């Protein structure tokens, strides 16, 4: 009989301790080859024949009731999940210099399939992490990247889950923070969300540390780490039914490896019967709890993205380079410089003096690592003298910046810019897209009305260029001062 050291009264459902996987695939690192994968992706693929979908063979074998799946009206057999759909992982951005391997197990319920793939991953010796992914899960491109970075920065963490919901309306997350309290929305969601420790989660998007799994198994050598179980009586004297995914998180936590949910990783959950993708609702409580556009918020963003941020904006930054050349700038000050991607491009291509400021100490450290003259400051607190000194009275650049300010803060900033004696202004903002209700970081919606208000404040400048430059809807603004003024700020 399998005995759980931490739960001696627990009775486990029959799950094989080990077995053979149905297939495996290797993808090597793009930077250099390695002896084996550091991350193994484990994907259980349920039986895909029509009769298997309509009737659960494992349930029937053990004589369980309700072995028939309920077929919803309008069910389309052609909507069954295919291997091609499952392999949407090709859109993931893997961690840099990390090889990834894939294991598949078909024809079994998820608990048994995950148990077998876990043992196979351990036999490979090289994996440090197992990424458990369901075949109906749509992982965002930066999902694995974000979860991996969290685990690397938190070596005591046993596992971290992304966020996905049930396939019903109203939906609820597969996240549990307290036993017996049901699903919980009590965690942060969206960019920069702070991960929170949990007591259970689904395993549709779950990155687990192999060392934590080995630790638990060493204490429970004859018990599968993945299986459903019934504890009767439990420590509270009542019967408890543990689903295999929640039990897995419980196991790691009790072995001394806390587990977390990361609200930055928002997944879609595909319903094969209706063809609908269920997503985290935009009005979920976690989105509203966060204070955005603060130093702490952006520190979290840049820590999560790392030095090799995705914020490269190729078309927009190329257009900015061309504009800086066209105004013959000798000195550029960049407000909201972030990790210095644009500053590095400008200084590499053009002989000029560059200085930048950003409110995030993490971003400034990354910019300095690019050998840039970056300082930590909140642009809302800059004086006209600060702006004049930063630009040497020449050119001010601010990309992806104005829309993050309230209009009152933007107006105050622009008034100081007008007083600073700067000759040229180059702004980049979204235009007629990405409103605050879609992007919580954005404080305003940039449209023609907003453009007129900006031009009204910058009365000493002519707006000589305004054009959309990329598919995301970023517009470039180029202002040139009407009348030469002293470079000395008032």
List 355's β-bridge partners, or say none: 333
Residue with tokens 């997350």: 173
Q: How many angstroms separate the CA atoms of 15 and 376, rounded?
A: 55
Lowest mean pLDDT among 87-91, 127-131, 197-201, 372-376: 87-91
pLDDT at 125: 87
Lowest mean pLDDT among 70-84, 118-132, 248-262: 70-84
Contact present, 166 and 172 (Cβ < 8 Å)? yes
**Which is it for the CA torsion 282, 286, 289, 293, positive or negative?**
negative
Contact present, 36 and 126 (Cβ < 8 Å)? yes
Strands annotated E in 385-455: 395-399, 424-430
Nearest to 317 by CA among 140, 173, 474: 474
Contact present, 271 and 70 (Cβ < 8 Å)? no
pLDDT at 94: 74
pLDDT at 48 over 60: no
Please write the tens of the pLDDT for every residue from 436-452: 877 878 999 999 999 99
Lowest mean pLDDT among 177-186, 263-272, 406-415: 177-186
pLDDT higher at 13 or 269 = 269
pLDDT at 471: 85
pLDDT at 310: 81
Please write the tens of the pLDDT for every residue from 275-292: 888 999 988 888 766 678
Q: What is the pLDDT confidence band of residue 240, given thresholds at 50, 70 and 90?
A: confident
Q: What is the mean pLDDT of the chain?
A: 84
Contact present, 337 and 343 (Cβ < 8 Å)? yes
pLDDT at 426: 96
pLDDT at 311: 85
**Which is it for the CA torsion 102, 108, 112, 116, positive or negative?**
negative
pLDDT at 237: 64
pLDDT at 10: 66
pLDDT at 324: 95
What are the boundaries of each domain within the chain? 10-290, 305-481
pLDDT at 230: 82
Instruction: Indicate the pTM of the whole model.
Output: 0.60
Listing DSSP states for 127-158 in one string gives -SEEEEE-TTEE--TTHHHHHHHHHHH-TT--
Q: What is the pLDDT confidence band of residue 69, given thresholds at 50, 70 and 90?
A: very low
CATH of domain 10-290: 3.90.550.40
Residue 326 tokens read as 């066209």
Contact present, 442 and 435 (Cβ < 8 Å)? yes
Listing DSSP states for 194-225 in one string gives PPEEESEE-SSEEEEEHHHHHHHHHHSTTS-S
Cα 157 to Cα 105, 138, 150, 217, 468, distances in angstroms? 27, 24, 9, 17, 44
Q: Would you give the distance in Å from CA 196 to the centre of its chain? A: 14
Q: What is the pLDDT confidence band of residue 428, given thresholds at 50, 70 and 90?
A: very high
Q: How many angstroms separate the CA atoms of 311 and 177, rounded?
A: 33
Residue 42 tokens read as 């484990």
User: What burial class does residue 439 get, using C-beta atoms within 10 Å of its C-beta: 0-12 exposed, 13-18 middle, 19+ buried?
Assistant: middle
Contact present, 397 and 343 (Cβ < 8 Å)? no
Please write the tens of the pLDDT for every residue from 72-119: 344 444 444 444 444 556 667 777 778 888 898 888 889 999 999 999
3-state helix, strand, coil in the chain (%, to 5): 30, 25, 45
pLDDT at 316: 93
Residues of the chain above pLDDT 70, percent: 82
How is residue 273 annotated by DSSP?
T
pLDDT higher at 414 or 238 = 414
466-474 average pLDDT score? 90
Q: Is 397 helix (H, G, I), strand (E, B) or coil?
A: strand
Give me the helix-helix angle, 110-123 and 244-254, nearest 10°. Answer: 40
pLDDT at 484: 57
List 105's β-bridge partners, or say none: 44
pLDDT at 80: 41
pLDDT at 27: 62
pLDDT at 296: 87
Nearest to 204 by CA among 145, 261, 282, 153: 261
pLDDT higher at 478 or 125 = 478
What region does 293 belong to: left with phi over 0, alpha with psi -120 to 50, or beta? Answer: left
Q: How many angstroms separate the CA atoms of 10 and 247, rounded?
A: 11
Residue 374 tokens read as 């970056």
Q: Is 285 helix (H, G, I), strand (E, B) or coil?
A: helix
How is residue 69 annotated by DSSP?
P
HSE-up (13 A, CA, CB side) for residue 280: 26
CATH of domain 305-481: 3.40.50.150
Q: What is the pLDDT confidence band of residue 47, given thresholds at 50, 70 and 90?
A: low
pLDDT at 312: 87
Q: What is the pLDDT confidence band of residue 239, given thresholds at 50, 70 and 90?
A: confident
Q: How many angstroms separate the CA atoms of 257 and 101, rounded?
A: 24
pLDDT at 417: 95
Q: What is the pLDDT confidence band of residue 71, given thresholds at 50, 70 and 90?
A: very low
Cα 199 to Cα 74, 230, 261, 430, 461, distances in angstroms? 37, 17, 10, 40, 58
pLDDT at 65 over 70: no
Lowest mean pLDDT among 21-25, 149-153, 254-258, 259-263: 21-25
Return phi, psi of residue 334, to 5°.
-115, 125
pLDDT at 425: 96
């Amino acid at each position: 009989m399998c005995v759980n050291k931490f739960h001696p009264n627990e009775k486990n459902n029959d799950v094989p301790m080990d077995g053979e996987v149905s297939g495996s695939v290797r993808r090597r690192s793009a930077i250099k080859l390695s002896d084996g994968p550091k991350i193994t992706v484990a994907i259980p693929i349920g039986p895909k024949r029509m009769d298997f979908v309509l009737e659960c063979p494992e349930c029937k074998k053990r004589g369980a009731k309700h072995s028939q799946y309920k077929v919803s009206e309008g069910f389309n057999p052609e909507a069954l999940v295919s291997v091609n759909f499952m392999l949407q992982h090709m859109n993931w951005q893997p961690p840099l210099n990390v090889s990834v391997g894939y294991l598949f197990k078909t024809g079994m319920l998820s608990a048994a399939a995950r148990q077998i793939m876990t043992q196979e991953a351990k036999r490979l010796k090289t994996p440090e992490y197992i990424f458990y992914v369901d075949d109906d899960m749509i992982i965002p491109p930066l999902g694995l990247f974000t979860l991996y970075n969290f685990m690397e920065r938190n070596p005591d963490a046993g596992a971290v889950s992304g966020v996905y919901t049930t396939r019903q309306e109203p939906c609820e997350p597969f996240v549990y923070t307290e036993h017996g309290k049901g699903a919980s929305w009590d965690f942060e969601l969206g960019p920069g969300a702070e991960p929170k420790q949990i007591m259970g989660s689904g395993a549709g998007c779950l990155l687990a540390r192999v060392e934590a799994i080995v630790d638990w198994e060493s204490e429970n050598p004859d018990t599968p780490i993945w299986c459903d179980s019934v504890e009767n009586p439990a420590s509270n004297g009542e019967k408890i039914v543990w689903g295999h995914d929640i039990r897995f998180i419980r196991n790691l936590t009790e072995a001394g490896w806390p587990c977390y949910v990361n609200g930055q990783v928002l997944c879609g959950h595909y319903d094969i019967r209706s063809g609908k993708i269920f997503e985290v609702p935009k009005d979920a409580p976690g989105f509203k709890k966060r204070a955005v556009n603060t130093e702490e918020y952006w520190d979290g963003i840049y820590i999560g993205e790392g030095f090799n941020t995705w914020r490269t904006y190729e078309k927009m930054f190329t257009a900015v380079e061309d504009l800086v050349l066209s105004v013959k700038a000798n000195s550029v000050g960049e407000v909201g410089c972030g990790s210095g991607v644009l500053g590095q491009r400008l200084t590499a291509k053009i002989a000029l003096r560059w200085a930048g400021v950003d409110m995030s100490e993490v971003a400034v450290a990354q910019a300095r690592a690019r050998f840039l003259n970056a300082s930590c400051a909140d642009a809302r607190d800059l004086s006209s003298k600060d702006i004049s000194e930063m630009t040497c009275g020449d050119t001010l650049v601010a990309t992806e910046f104005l829309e993050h300010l309230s209009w009152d803060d933007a107006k105050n900033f622009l008034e100081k810019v007008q007083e600073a004696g700067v000759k040229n202004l180059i702004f980049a903002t979204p235009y007629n897209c990405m409103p605050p209700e879609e992007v919580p970081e954005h404080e305003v919606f940039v449209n023609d009305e907003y453009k007129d208000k900006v031009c009204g404040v910058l009365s000493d400048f002519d707006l000589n260029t305004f054009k959309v430059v990329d598919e995301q809807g970023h517009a470039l603004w180029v202002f040139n001062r009407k009348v030469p003024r002293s470079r000395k700020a008032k």
